Amino acid sequence: MSYYQYHVFFCTNQRADGESCCAQFDAQAMRDYAKQRTKALGLHKDGKSRINAAGCLNRCAEGPVIVVYPEAIWYTYVDQEDIDEIIESHLQHDKPVKRLMLDPQ
């Protein structure tokens, strides 16, 4: 059993050489938003969920990306509405959001 019900990692990597990277999509701000939103919803308490920044997750070409454990579900997103949908559907109701998945199952 995982310490958290859901552990969410946002790639916030910035590539110095100008190659495509998640930081180009305002990934840090989106991570900050998700963290604030889960706190507002009470999802951060009692081991429910944890939102973290990650270094490079090596999927920059598909970015921006996040991965949710323990299921290892990879998502991409465009805006806060996508983040809200992931939080509401996946973190609150245990239903992954297929339309945002990188590797739909």
Note the pTM of the prediction, 2 decimals. Answer: 0.92
pLDDT tens, position by position, 67-97? 999 999 999 999 999 999 999 999 999 999 9
Torsion sign across C-alpha atoms 18, 22, 24, 27: negative
Nearest alpha carbon to residue 8 among 64, 66, 48, 81: 66
What are the structural domains, with CATH classification, of the chain? Answer: 6-100 (3.40.30.10)
Task: Determine contact, residues 40/51, Cβ cutoff 8 Å.
Answer: no
Exposure string of 64-75, with b = 16+ CB inside 10 Å and e = fewer, is bbbbbeeeebbb
**CA triplet 7, 47, 33: central angle to 5 degrees?**
55
pLDDT tens, position by position, 19-60? 788 888 899 999 999 999 999 999 998 889 999 999 889 898
